[in-house]
Structure 1
């Protein structure tokens, strides 16, 4: 691999090889001009960041008629990136399921982006009863029809993922390959907890780290003006107050806070890819520096950052929660 290229990891036992960095869509592509979006996409793909998280955000709390997916589709074409040269990860929402079928959601989402298939899909978080057998059944039908090749879940409790996995295996459906979880320097209880640990070790699942910057706070934007994700455990003010310690730790390690936030997640073996959004090339280049930090310090990062685990004994390791989509 070229030294300037982003490395790849396997996304769970049944998932594809993916770059360790993944660009997200919520409040990303609509935060810049079309020209800048195309330039950013071309630069990212040139460095090997070929996985994009793109969704139609118009369900439940996301019912804002956001255009970020439409903008992404136009920008990737303007950048001259062929469909076969990148991976698209869509999202299927459970807020109105089954009234809003996965097939209908996916057709609408893909039409908005201007493509005919996804590579991966993430099933959004849910509250209350859910017919997992029906969910797994429709996922299986869509996979058999070639709409996507692998699927995962977003911030589900581990026990629900185990159940979905058991149903999938019993019914001959490819089981979920990955979980997309809130994971950061401050929020470790769920992704590093024993319930999900068993899914990673015994269930063959990979981990996608999301919300790694806590809406920008862990990168130094202490008062985000845009809509950001949910606050499980009510610890956001503690995270904000801890930022000077993050900054000091990054300085000691010869890095920026953003690089430290990304590199920390990559030290956790189940992590295949880290999801983040950027609004300009400078932010992208800064985040790419996390790879150098990881090379220089590796697992010593975990030892140096123990005191920044802020949801410890506050959020249960098998918790599920609602989020406002892939943040950062």
Structure 2
């Protein structure tokens, strides 16, 4: 397992991060504890969760259960100091989370304290804004994304308020570092510029989608990452399981995420079939597991801090963690590049 520095902090994280969004629905608490035991034993020191989780499916009845499961594991295993723990504050849109209110200073204070209690810890290593209040292009919103309708003054004022409150929380010791999720380049740079001007906490990372099938981070975000040391925490690096090949030819295995969440957040549609099949074929021709190849590709990207894996079985977890030991040859990378050029934006 390799480790990287989180932004400009003194926090070191494993390049494989254990995702948790199935814990409490697809996975029982006992299964989640087994996953955490295995991950830590194999060099993973980075867990990512959110107050919204689990999401397979998301519901008011299971809201925040994942954080509770992690808190119970910390209490049982006594390994809080062995883990860099990341969680997120949920934004607007769900009535059962603070009445559906958007993220502001008050909701951040409430959410941090509630997460600390559920997680049974007195500090969070990385606290992230799950999604911005304004619109964004993630989760298939690129096709109708129109920032011309946004209010700049209000957006900037909201960023200042968030940073000021997060600054207080960091000073209190409840949070060590801050990050963003489902953000844009402009939004991330605005957080950085305001923080520098006002002496407030600096964004250490951005958690956005990235995989062989979704590579928007290769462009302007790669430049920002290079100059500003804001690394990517890549979620859905297997495109919600599509890159394993299990959904090829219309297959939907029983118990899979697609059997629960339908089209996998808009990912499971005809445009992805050809590139997914091509990537699986490359893996097979070179004697690679397709999931490990997809993850190993993400780990080659210079802007990547950590790839967030998720698993519903121990077999999947072992495969995904094992990707850290895979080095892709130049030939494999060249073949991947050919497929990407042919299918640049299949999702």
Tell me which of 82, 86, 89 is aligned to 1:85: 82
> Within 5 A, what are the aligned runs for 1:1-328?
6-14=1-9, 16-57=11-52, 64-66=60-62, 67-78=65-76, 80-95=77-92, 96-98=102-104, 101-128=107-134, 129=151, 130=155, 131-188=158-215, 190-193=216-219, 195-222=220-247, 223=252, 224-227=258-261, 230-231=265-266, 236-294=269-327, 297-298=328-329, 300-309=331-340, 312=344
Q: Deviations over 1:76-127 (max 9, x none)?
A: 434x142111111010233222275211101111212222211001111124
**Does the Cα contact within 8 Å between 1:177 and 1:206 map onto a contact in 2?**
yes
SS of residue paired to 2:175: coil
- Which range is displaced more, 130-139 or 164-173? 130-139
Q: Could you tell me how far 1:35 is from its partner in structure 2? A: 2.7
- Which range is displaced more, 299-308 or 88-97? 299-308
Cα 1:217/1:229, change in 2 over 3 Å = same
**Does the Cα contact within 8 Å between 1:186 and 1:308 map onto a contact in 2?**
no
Cα 1:49/1:313, change in 2 over 3 Å = closer
Cα 1:113/1:265, change in 2 over 3 Å = same
How many Å separate the matches in 1 of 2:72 and 2:230?
Answer: 33
- Taking structure 2 as the reference length, what is the TM-score of the superposition? 0.79
- Taking structure 1 as the reference length, what is the TM-score of the superposition? 0.84
Q: Which runs of 5+ in 2 are unaligned?
A: 93-101, 135-150, 253-257
Structure with the higher fraction of residues in helix conformation: 2
Q: Deviations over 1:160-202 (max 9, x none)?
A: 11111000011111210111111001111x2100x21221111
**Does the Cα contact within 8 Å between 2:51 and 2:90 map onto a contact in 1?**
no
Cα 1:99/1:135, change in 2 over 3 Å = closer
How many Å separate the matches in 1 of 2:181 and 2:8?
Answer: 18
How many Å separate the matches in 2 of 1:58 and 1:77?
Answer: 20
Q: Which runs of 5+ in 1 are unaligned?
A: 1-5, 316-328
SS of residue paired to 2:218: coil
**Does the Cα contact within 8 Å between 1:11 and 1:207 map onto a contact in 2?**
no
Residue 322 of structure 1: aligned partner: none
